[in-house]
Structure formats: structure tokens, C-alpha cells
């Protein structure tokens, strides 16, 4: 599998230059203090990671539970078990970092409660159905973004975990709020904050790290136990800052090929 990844790396990096300008500009803007040599090193490492991520995502179709348990390990499942014992539901937040698909795929191994992933539907219906079928292999319940509150209302009497990626880019029509993220004004969804405050669910962040090629761990950290007591935008700012610190620690494992900063405050109207 990783031999294929090595071939993809040669193709993406040396031949077709897949989104090279986007990746370079994102890195340069995010890390103005880094030298050209450092930026190009991170860029090369990102391409290697991206190609590994592609083959690992394809492998998700057939990977066994035994293999996945070895390759995506939650280090502290007792955290979530403790909140369930208290009768609390949980919101977990992550980003497009390391292998987020394997984190979502493996999480049901560590709980006997319902685990829901909120996703932004793809424009291609065939690919959208494919990804939802893969994500549901081991018990994860994919829920489209526009149905999340309705589904949580239906499950309000149950302890659940709902997972979201906090770094997705809103569409122009969905722009509500900008934060400072990696030295740039960045639009963010407020869904995490809205869901947490509406359901009074404990807010956790999962920090995923690459142990070695094809092996990851992820660890849960509590951000807020009483979200209804937080100020407006406090949860949003906190989870964005948490991700920023993770990216600064190991920059190559974030999705730099994503056009994350295509919308800017001066181009759109948004609520402050």
C-alpha cells in the first residue's frame, strides 16, 4: 500500500505539482517567520503525508477491526466513559489533521453509546454515499450538517457523542464569523458552539498524532464542561486555538492543499 503512496508522491510532487502554489502560499502566510528552506521542507513532508492519507482512506473500505485497533488508538477512553457515567453527552472536535477518517472509523470501539459524525455533504452524490457507507462500517452514524440539530433533538434522552471537524470552510452564504487562525482572518462554522450550548454537552478536543507510518494515536482533552455558561464565541475561539497549537507542533500533517482562506473579511459581510 505504501509503495503505491511513494509512487503517488513522485507523481504529485515532481510531475503534476498538485496544488503546489496553494500549498506554498498557505504555508508562507501561516508561518511568515520560517525560512524558504523550512517552508519547502514542510511542503515536501505534507505531500508524503497526503499520499499516505489517500491510500489509507482507500484502505478504509476493507481494513479489519483488528488492524484498525492497532493503527488508530484512543489513549484515554476513560474520559468519555466518565462523562457517560455522569449522564452527560459529549461533543468532540477535531480538524483535517493526521488521519481524521481513521479516528472517526475507530471511535465506536471505545464506547457502547451512539457515535455520530456531522459531515458536510459532497456535491457528487455517488461519492457522498460511498463515504457515508465507509464511515459507518464499525457503527459510526453519519449525519448531514443540516440534520444535526434535528437528530440530536430525537436523541435528547440518550447519552451520545457527536463529532465535528472544526476547520471546514463555510460557503459564502454561511459566513457568520471570522477568527485569527495561523496569522490570518479565517471564517469558521459556529455549529460546534451552537450544538454544545443547545444540548449542554461536554466539549472535548481530540489531539491526533502520527506515531509512525500508518499508525496513529488520539487523546481527548476537555475544553468545557458547562458550555451553557460560556460567553458567545468562547467555544469557537478555544477549539480553533487548540487546533492551531497542534498544527504548529507538527505542521506537515494538516490539510494544506485545502483552499481554507478563499474568503476574506473585506470581501463578505459577516456578523461580529
Helix (H) or strand (E) holding 40: helix 36-59
pLDDT-derived band at 130, boundaries 50, 70, 90: confident
Q: How many CB atoms lie within 10 A of CB 211?
A: 11
Distance, in Å, from the CA atom of 88 to the CA atom of 90, rounded to the nearest integer, reads: 7
Average pLDDT, the chain: 94
Residue 124, pLDDT score: 87
For 26-104, list the strands marked E by DSSP.
72-74, 90-94
Which residues lie closer than 8 Å to 75 by C-beta, 6 or more apart?
217, 218, 219
| Cell numbers standing for residue 108 | 465506536
What does DSSP assign to residue 13? I
Confidence of residue 35 (pLDDT cuts 50, 70, 90): very high
DSSP 3-state helix, strand, coil percentages of the chain (rounded to 5)? 50, 20, 30
pLDDT digits (tens, 9 = 90+) for 196-226: 999 999 999 999 999 999 999 999 999 999 9
pLDDT tens string 170-192? 888 888 899 999 999 999 999 99
pLDDT of residue 43: 98
Task: Convert the pLDDT of each residue in 39-79 to its tens digit.
Answer: 999 999 999 999 999 999 999 999 999 999 999 999 999 99
Domain boundaries, given as residue ranges, for the chain: 2-57, 66-251
pTM above 0.85, yes or no: yes
Amino acid at each position: 500500500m505504501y509503495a503505491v503512496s511513494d509512487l503517488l508522491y513522485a507523481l504529485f510532487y515532481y510531475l503534476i505539482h498538485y496544488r503546489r502554489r496553494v500549498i506554498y502560499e498557505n504555508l508562507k502566510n501561516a508561518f511568515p517567520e520560517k525560512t524558504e528552506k523550512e517552508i519547502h521542507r514542510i511542503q515536501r513532508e505534507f505531500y508524503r503525508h497526503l499520499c499516505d492519507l489517500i491510500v489509507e482512506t482507500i484502505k478504509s473500505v476493507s481494513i479489519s477491526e483488528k488492524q484498525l485497533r492497532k493503527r488508530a488508538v484512543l489513549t484515554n477512553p476513560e474520559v468519555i466513559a466518565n462523562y457517560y457515567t455522569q449522564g452527560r453527552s459529549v461533543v468532540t472536535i477535531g480538524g483535517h489533521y493526521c488521519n481524521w477518517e481513521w479516528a472517526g472509523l475507530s471511535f465506536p470501539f471505545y464506547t457502547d453509546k451512539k457515535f455520530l459524525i456531522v459531515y458536510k455533504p459532497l456535491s457528487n452524490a455517488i461519492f457522498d454515499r460511498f463515504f457515508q457507507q465507509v464511515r459507518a462500517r464499525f457503527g459510526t452514524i453519519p449525519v448531514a450538517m443540516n440534520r444535526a440539530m434535528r437528530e440530536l433533538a430525537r436523541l435528547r434522552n440518550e447519552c451520545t457523542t457527536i463529532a465535528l471537524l472544526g476547520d471546514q470552510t463555510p460557503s459564502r452564504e454561511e459566513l457568520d464569523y471570522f477568527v485569527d487562525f495561523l496569522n490570518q482572518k479565517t471564517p469558521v462554522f459556529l455549529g460546534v458552539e451552537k450544538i454544545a450550548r443547545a444540548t449542554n454537552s461536554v466539549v472535548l478536543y481530540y489531539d491526533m498524532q502520527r506515531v509512525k507510518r500508518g499508525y496513529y494515536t488520539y487523546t481527548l482533552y476537555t475544553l468545557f464542561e458547562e458550555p451553557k455558561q460560556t460567553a458567545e464565541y468562547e467555544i469557537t475561539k478555544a477549539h480553533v486555538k487548540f487546533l492551531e497549537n497542534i498544527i504548529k507542533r507538527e505542521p506537515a500533517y494538516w490539510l494544506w492543499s485545502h483552499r481554507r482562506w478563499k474568503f476574506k473579511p473585506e470581501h463578505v459581510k459577516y456578523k461580529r
